[in-house]
A and B are shown apart, each in its own frame.
Chain A
Amino acid sequence: MAAPTQPDSAIGGSARKRDGAALLTGRAVFVDDHQPTGMLHAQVVRSTVAHGRILSVDTAAAEAAPGVRLVLTGRRAAESAGPVPYFIDPAARGGNRTDIRCLQVDEVVYVGQPVAAVVAETRRQALDAAALVAVEYEVLPHVLDAEEAMLPDAPRLYPEWPGNVVMHNRYGTGDTDAALAAADVVVSGELRIGRSTTSPIEPRGYLASWNAAEGKLTVHASCQNPHQMRWMLATSLGLDEGDIRIVTAKVGGSFGLKMQGHPEETLVALLSILTGAPVKWIEDRRETLMAGARQQVHRFTVGAMADGRIVALVDDIVADVGALTAQAGWAMPNMSATTLPSGYLVPDCRIGLDIVVTNKPPVNAARGFGKDAAHFVMERAVDIVAHELGLDPAEVRRRNFIPADRFPHRTSTGLNIDSGDFVGLLDKVLDEVGYAGIRARQGGLRHRGRYLGVGLGFELTPESSDSPGTFVSGFDTTTVRMSVTGMVTVLTGVTSPGGGNDTGIAQIVATELGVPMEWVELVQGDTDRCPNGFGNFSGRSMVVGGGSATLAARDVRDKLALLGSRMLDVPVDRVEVADGVVRVVDDHSRALAVPDVARALLTRAFAVADGIEPVLESTRAYKPGNIDHVPDEFGRIQPYPTYSSSLHAAVVDVDVETGKVVLLDYVMAHDCGTMINPALVEGQARGAVAMGLGSALSEQLVFGEDGTLLSDRFKTYLLPRAGDVPELRMVHQVTPSPFTMHGNKGAGEAGVGGAQAAVANAVEDALAALGVRVRGVPLTPPAVLALIDEAAAR
């Protein structure tokens, strides 16, 4: 492939994706593309009951089927593999835990839970044989609804627990009772956020290869966190970490789903060890769709003064996380609670949170990580206050936003917001969407039978988190290495499931080193090559991957400058490294090519480089500021260095006959501080908004009464298609973070909650004349019609 011409490889430029040619030509290798000699195929046998005791697992017919090499039951698996360790252990947060197994031994707690596995020579043989595994269950009562699960006589998922609550927490400070008593208006409401999911187009998949002679395990995985997976497999399988290599080369989208902690990770590795052959398992779409991303009920009370100032927020959250998982997903509702009251000055808050298990598949980590729910609720609350007071929703936001000169600002729930200008975002959005004009047109349209609505949604996105004592880490590590020919290899602990942080990091290294981006090779997702790191989550990759790459690149640059100055016979403070040369600052004609300086350092270490340590390599970790794990007087910690912000405006047209919501326009004003690569930032935001629009309007995981997932394919679980998504018009604002290397904040999650909120508020606005009160998402056509009927009945 011809060397790409880089439109702009500097920091702040929109360089094209480094891996573009490989992806565009079909040469990129995803996990399912590996086909080593002798590879076997695995199929998982899953529970058919929502809750039951496993009485027997008859494997005889499956074992006799053609091509079958192994049928593994939970009991036999437990002889070779221990529990899967948690990404975030509930016990570390004072909650209830249970052992998570790669295959269930005695009990199942959801339809789809792994109970056995079949390994065969072909995929088809594995599929056929899996159907022959006969599992007999004693069916136990099950509960699919979190609020029912909290009742005293509800069936218990885990008999050793006192109930079905993983943990109960309270957040917030102040005297909400007094504040509500003094408020001019007090409004209460209930909001329901339906169960949607991430569903990347590439499902999960693992290929494990056990080398019995060397006692070494190599796993190719579609996974965001290779180092955590190595630790997890070492723990569950009793191997040394040094004997495990995890490779996560190309990942076909992830959005949190492929954070480590799934039972199949341990399972597939175990299957390879037991068969002595490479074993591949690729999830099918039905399995992918079992994973939830969110499901919550909020009961809130908000108090405000007549001028629109919100003085108190009380919210009781019941978060349904399905069955417990070792993956990080169960912990997301904590962020729903602590992200309230978002970017508003609400002095008195009391947030109660119950994280509840039900007999459904686990809620796995998902873009938004619970923060999305906070935005949906807070933005609905603001609109309801505006309605009660007869004020415009934009004006109520303006009066309540934390002013731009008040940062850093610690919220009632403990987050320390680094910087921002929320009123600035509001002004930009109102201007771009033509807010005043829409308001002026609405009345006329309504007379002609059109229901046009505009809705706003503010979103505060805490990013790059560090959770003490877990593998949610707020730092990362990068090695920058220059070869004797001047070529640069960057090895970093962060990974990219598609968003393009590899390109951004290469831009940073090229800029800092003063060499062309084409000289920079970047390696991610290989535990044998990359320094210990934590992968991809929480919008961290450019903050800490970029930050550590900067430090390491500067070390190498300084070494080049030192030797170059000696070779040019000028003081070191008179040279710079730029455009691939070491040159005299005020006389660019005196220059040495970087490869010549590199070669001199590494081949003439006892001559021209005498006295200089001859290494052109540096490994550095970067810890951003603003993280504080010492609890304050209210017990609050501060796990996030940066807070991105965005304001969304949706314009909708609602067909009151069919309930269909058509998006006419969408504007997002976005602020993630300094943008390393604006086009990649925009890409993340557009994708997140589309995901939010899907969960607001069409995406819904539906379960039958027996706990079986009914929306188990893309014909029934409706991702937005091209025709469903309007042109998203983006406006940028840049308030640099004072706490990160380049002033950048996380980009990658902002969009989900803002889109949900803006759409919900727009639908209510459109149907205001009918008295409709939106009570949740998704706002599918039947749901909208039900709201209209409900309003008519009032």
Chain B
Amino acid sequence: MTGMRLTVNGVDREIDVDPSTLLVHAIREQVGLTGTHVGCLTGDCGACTVVLDGRTAKSCSVLALSADGSAVETVESLADGDELHPVQRAFWDGFAFQCGFCLPGMLLTAKELLDSTPEPDDAQILAAINGNLCRCTGYNTIVSAVRQASGCARTCAKETPCQES
């Protein structure tokens, strides 16, 4: 086992991992945050998506040790206490999930898109979430929720107390 450091959702963590440990397993089992899911372990479904040093990454395709010293944000970081992030609210209001297993990837990917492109068109939304599989919804409601969240982001910016993570 090898010691390594991760800053997870702003908290510094020291964990011991095997050289073969995947980042997704380190987050779920060593750090103990199980909101990040394992769907395929081949980087295809996106249920394991986290934000790694500022960019979304499929944590099943990253060796934990290679992320030594990195900052990781998981789906657990999105809400501010009891206050949901606008993307989360839009997904809830818009029925953009059913079983919820794909949500970590969908939410973090949508947030990343909206952070860089506050008013994406549909093609940009589709391109962003195309790397994340959902078997429940057929995607239509996800696309419209992202659209809705971008509208909310605009509205919230004009008024005030919209929390930012």
Partner of A25, one of B36, B75, B95: B75
Question: CB distance B92 to A20 under 8 Å?
Answer: yes
Q: For B82, what are the chain A residues with a Cβ–Cβ distance below 8 Å?
A: 1-2
**A123 vs B30: C-alpha distance when bound (angstroms):** 13
Interface set, chain B 57-107, CB cutoff 8 A to A: 74-76, 78-79, 82-84, 88, 91-93, 95, 97-104, 107
Q: For A28, what are the chain B residues with a Cβ–Cβ distance below 8 Å?
A: 35, 100
- Known interface pairs A35-B29, A722-B126, A722-B143. Does A25 touch B84 (Cβ–Cβ under 8 Å)? yes
- Known interface pairs A25-B76, A35-B29, A713-B40. Does A498 touch B138 (Cβ–Cβ under 8 Å)? no
Interface string of B13-29 (1 = CB under 8 A from A): 00000101100010011
Partner of B141, one of A21, A250, A686, A720: A686
The smallest C-beta distance from A678 to any residue of chain B, in angstroms, reads 10
Question: CB distance B35 to A253 under 8 Å?
Answer: no
- Known interface pairs A24-B103, A683-B98. Does A255 touch B35 (Cβ–Cβ under 8 Å)? no
Q: How many A-B residue pairs have CB under 8 A?
A: 181
Question: CB distance A26 to B75 under 8 Å?
Answer: yes
The smallest C-beta distance from A255 to any residue of chain B, in angstroms, reads 7
Question: CB distance B42 to A714 under 8 Å?
Answer: yes
- Known interface pairs A1-B82, A25-B84, A498-B98. Does A201 touch B92 (Cβ–Cβ under 8 Å)? no
Interface string of A281-294 (1 = CB under 8 A from B): 01011000000000
**A7 vs B41: C-alpha distance when bound (angstroms):** 38
The smallest C-beta distance from B141 to any residue of chain A, in angstroms, reads 7
Partner of B138, one of A17, A33, A687: A687
Q: For A24, what are the chain B residues with a Cβ–Cβ distance below 8 Å?
A: 75, 78-79, 84, 88, 91-92, 97, 100, 103, 107
The smallest C-beta distance from B65 to any residue of chain A, in angstroms, reads 14
A611 in the interface (beta carbon within 8 A): no
Question: CB distance B92 to A251 under 8 Å?
Answer: no
The smallest C-beta distance from B98 to any residue of chain A, in angstroms, reads 4
B134 in the interface (beta carbon within 8 A): yes
Question: CB distance B135 to A201 under 8 Å?
Answer: yes
The residue in chain A whose Cβ has the minimal distance to the Cβ of B92 is: A20
B44 in the interface (beta carbon within 8 A): yes
> Which stretch, A505-513, A723-731, A764-772, touches the partner chain B?
A723-731
Query: Which secondary structure dominates where chain A touches chain B?
Result: loop
B33 in the interface (beta carbon within 8 A): yes
A252 in the interface (beta carbon within 8 A): yes
B130 in the interface (beta carbon within 8 A): yes
Q: For B28, what are the chain A residues with a Cβ–Cβ distance below 8 Å?
A: 32-33
Partner of A723, one of B39, B78, B107, B127: B127
Q: For B132, what are the chain A residues with a Cβ–Cβ distance below 8 Å?
A: 722
- Known interface pairs A17-B92, A25-B35, A25-B84. Does A284 touch B41 (Cβ–Cβ under 8 Å)? yes
Question: CB distance A722 to B142 under 8 Å?
Answer: yes
Question: CB distance B44 to A713 under 8 Å?
Answer: yes
A447 in the interface (beta carbon within 8 A): no
Question: CB distance B74 to A23 under 8 Å?
Answer: no
The residue in chain A whose Cβ has the minimal distance to the Cβ of B74 is: A26
**A690 vs B149: C-alpha distance when bound (angstroms):** 23
Question: CB distance B101 to A202 under 8 Å?
Answer: yes
**A27 vs B79: C-alpha distance when bound (angstroms):** 11
The residue in chain B whose Cβ has the minimal distance to the Cβ of A688 is: B138
The smallest C-beta distance from A497 to any residue of chain B, in angstroms, reads 6
Question: CB distance A201 to B101 under 8 Å?
Answer: yes
**A686 vs B136: C-alpha distance when bound (angstroms):** 8
Q: For A722, what are the chain B residues with a Cβ–Cβ distance below 8 Å?
A: 125-126, 129-130, 132, 134, 139, 142-143
The residue in chain B whose Cβ has the minimal distance to the Cβ of A3 is: B82
**What is the total number of residues of chain B having a CB less than 8 Å from a CB of chain A?**
60
Partner of A26, one of B21, B35, B137, B143: B35
The smallest C-beta distance from B107 to any residue of chain A, in angstroms, reads 7
Which of A21, A250, A285, A721 has the most chain B CB within a 10 Å cutoff? A721
Which of A32, A254, A683 has the most chain B CB within a 10 Å cutoff? A683
Question: CB distance A200 to B100 under 8 Å?
Answer: no
- Known interface pairs A24-B103, A26-B104, A201-B47. Does A683 touch B136 (Cβ–Cβ under 8 Å)? yes
Interface size class of A (residues with CB under 8 A): 35 or more
**A523 vs B43: C-alpha distance when bound (angstroms):** 34
The smallest C-beta distance from A688 to any residue of chain B, in angstroms, reads 8
B7 in the interface (beta carbon within 8 A): no
Partner of B76, one of A26, A680, A682: A26
Question: CB distance A200 to B138 under 8 Å?
Answer: no
**A2 vs B125: C-alpha distance when bound (angstroms):** 29
**A430 vs B32: C-alpha distance when bound (angstroms):** 53
B38 in the interface (beta carbon within 8 A): yes
A266 in the interface (beta carbon within 8 A): no
Question: CB distance B134 to A16 under 8 Å?
Answer: no
Q: For B88, what are the chain A residues with a Cβ–Cβ distance below 8 Å?
A: 24-25
Interface set, chain B 95-125, CB cutoff 8 A to A: 95, 97-104, 107, 125
Question: CB distance B99 to A201 under 8 Å?
Answer: yes
**A498 vs B98: C-alpha distance when bound (angstroms):** 5
Q: For B36, what are the chain A residues with a Cβ–Cβ distance below 8 Å?
A: 26
Question: CB distance A719 to B98 under 8 Å?
Answer: no
A176 in the interface (beta carbon within 8 A): no
The residue in chain B whose Cβ has the minimal distance to the Cβ of A20 is: B92
Q: For B135, what are the chain A residues with a Cβ–Cβ distance below 8 Å?
A: 198-201, 253, 255, 687, 690-691, 719
Question: CB distance B126 to A687 under 8 Å?
Answer: no
Partner of B100, one of A252, A687, A728: A252
Question: CB distance A2 to B92 under 8 Å?
Answer: no
Which of B28, B127, B129, B133 has the most chain A CB within a 10 Å cutoff? B133
The smallest C-beta distance from B85 to any residue of chain A, in angstroms, reads 9
Question: CB distance A728 to B38 under 8 Å?
Answer: no
B163 in the interface (beta carbon within 8 A): no
B148 in the interface (beta carbon within 8 A): no
- Known interface pairs A25-B79, A723-B126, A727-B140. Does A253 touch B98 (Cβ–Cβ under 8 Å)? yes
A563 in the interface (beta carbon within 8 A): no
The residue in chain B whose Cβ has the minimal distance to the Cβ of A127 is: B20
- Known interface pairs A25-B35, A284-B41, A285-B41. Does A201 touch B91 (Cβ–Cβ under 8 Å)? no
Interface set, chain A 80-108, CB cutoff 8 A to B: none
The residue in chain B whose Cβ has the minimal distance to the Cβ of A729 is: B140
Interface set, chain B 140-161, CB cutoff 8 A to A: 140-143
Q: For B100, what are the chain A residues with a Cβ–Cβ distance below 8 Å?
A: 19, 23-24, 28, 250, 252, 498
A124 in the interface (beta carbon within 8 A): yes
- Known interface pairs A26-B33, A723-B126, A725-B138. Does A200 touch B40 (Cβ–Cβ under 8 Å)? no
The smallest C-beta distance from A689 to any residue of chain B, in angstroms, reads 6
- Known interface pairs A25-B84, A25-B88. Does A124 touch B18 (Cβ–Cβ under 8 Å)? yes
Question: CB distance A725 to B140 under 8 Å?
Answer: yes
B45 in the interface (beta carbon within 8 A): yes
A182 in the interface (beta carbon within 8 A): no
**A24 vs B21: C-alpha distance when bound (angstroms):** 26
**A670 vs B113: C-alpha distance when bound (angstroms):** 34
The smallest C-beta distance from B87 to any residue of chain A, in angstroms, reads 9
Q: For B98, what are the chain A residues with a Cβ–Cβ distance below 8 Å?
A: 17, 253, 498-500, 683, 687
- In order of increasing CB-CB distance, the 5 nearest A-B pairs are A26-B35, A498-B99, A23-B100, A252-B101, A690-B138
5 sampled A-B residue pairs with Cβ under 8 A = A24-B88, A27-B35, A33-B34, A285-B45, A497-B99
List residues of chain A with CB under 8 Å of any chain B CB: 1-2, 4, 7, 14, 16-17, 19-21, 23-30, 32-33, 35, 123-124, 198-203, 250-255, 282, 284-285, 497-500, 679-680, 682-683, 686-687, 689-691, 713-715, 719-723, 725, 727-728
Give 20 A-B pairs besides A253-B99, A254-B99 with Cβ atoms closer than 8 angstroms.
A4-B92, A20-B97, A25-B35, A25-B78, A28-B100, A200-B101, A201-B133, A202-B39, A253-B98, A284-B41, A683-B136, A683-B141, A689-B138, A719-B133, A721-B133, A722-B126, A722-B129, A723-B126, A725-B139, A728-B138
List residues of chain B with CB under 8 Å of any chain A CB: 18, 20-21, 25, 28-29, 32-42, 44-45, 47, 74-76, 78-79, 82-84, 88, 91-93, 95, 97-104, 107, 125-127, 129-143
